[in-house]
Structure 1
Amino acid sequence: MNIQKLFRAVLATSALFLGLTQAAQADIVTLTGDTTGGPTYNRTLANLAAYSPNGEGVSYRTHTLTVDTSGDYSFVATGLGFDTFAFLYESSFDPASPLINGLVGNDDAISLNTSGFEATLDSGTTYVFVMTGFDSEQFGAYSVTIAGPGMISAIPEPATWVMLALGIGLLGYTQRRRR
């Protein structure tokens, strides 16, 4: 009987030890969107050093994200039938000042429809991924795949929070009215 208890204790301790010593899980996230009819700005060059003569009035969409583990993350953006251009900004993206906070940009990583890069991200820092086209005639649906050593969390846009608050308020009003 004591051997059985000892065996169970050793087994439980081993399972706990293995659970605590596991490496952090890697994550892969895919974000989608469409730049058609989106807001416009004057795009920079890929090195973020100056404005592009081809990038005036390009449509764009943004995705805000954070990671829980510092390390190297890869970004691959694919456009549906348009010449993509992708950028990553730290903390914030201001379309009126796109030369500020830029970390990396890329055009044509694999083909005209694919942009991508690798960036070292820090946990707890906010990043903004910007998807746009090469020029004002390049826009459409796209997907972005982000992969790295830690959990990648997309931060909802402020409009999403407003819609959530309005929905919860409407539910509360409906419940109160029923009483």
Structure 2
Amino acid sequence: MSIVKFFRVVLAAAILFAGLTQTARADFRHLTGDTSTSPTFHRPTQSLLGLSADGTNVHYNTYTFQVSRSGSYNFYTTGLFDTFHLLYEGSFNPASPLTNAIAANDDLYSDTDTGTSGFYGLLESNTTYVFVITGYDNNSHGRYEALISGPGLITAVPEPSAYLMLGLGLAGIMLVSRRKNRQV
């Protein structure tokens, strides 16, 4: 075998093996917001065994997402108020706050660290999750920062109303275009 043929075989093998390897992809989502003027609900307790006696009318924000790879994902929230956050699988209904709830956290480090919440959870790919950021009690609301991180891509899932608005926008564009064509 000539040296040129040998290098061709080695190059072909290297390309084949390079195509078989998978690159690791990790992602994170940085969320910021303010719960001061958001809707309210009666939040669950951290154990998810019942509803809170302190958080009967707490403001909340939601982030609906899916992950591309199953694995362990971290959730971390910090705010200028006593933060509390929850994770729901499938959907979140504020009128039924225990339904679909799979995780919750009040104070990440201790009872004296009231501005930080966090947990990790095992998430399945192509499943919809709703991350709910709220306060511990009815007077806990304000600006926050949250971080979701894990081994796969974290992709926001649009609300059904976004699809409705897109459809109405496209219908409006088609109507205007049709009217212009008739006038010509």
Q: TM-score, normalised on structure 2?
A: 0.84
Give the corresponding residue for 1:64.
64
Q: How does 1:1-179 map to 2 (within 5 A)?
A: 4=4, 7=7, 10-11=10-11, 13-79=13-79, 81-110=80-109, 111-179=113-181
Q: Deviations over 1:105-154 (max 9, x none)?
A: 11122532221110011112221111111112212232321111111111
> Which ranges of structure 2 fall in alignment gaps of 5 or more residues?
none
Amino acid at match of 1:125: T
Q: How big is the alpha-carbon RMSD for the aligned residues of Structure 1 and Structure 2? A: 2.1
Cα distance change on mapping 1:170 and 1:106 into 2, 3 Å: same
Identity, in percent, stands at 50
| Deviation at residue 93 of structure 1 after TM alignment | 1.6
Q: Deviations over 1:67-93 (max 9, x none)?
A: 1211110011222x2221100111122
Amino acid at match of 2:134: T
| Deviation at residue 55 of structure 1 after TM alignment | 0.3
| Deviation at residue 4 of structure 1 after TM alignment | 4.9
Cα distance change on mapping 1:144 and 1:15 into 2, 3 Å: farther
> Which ranges of structure 1 fall in alignment gaps of 5 or more residues?
none
- The SS at the match of 1:96 is coil
The number of equivalent residue pairs is 177
Larger CA Rg, structure 1 vs 2: 2
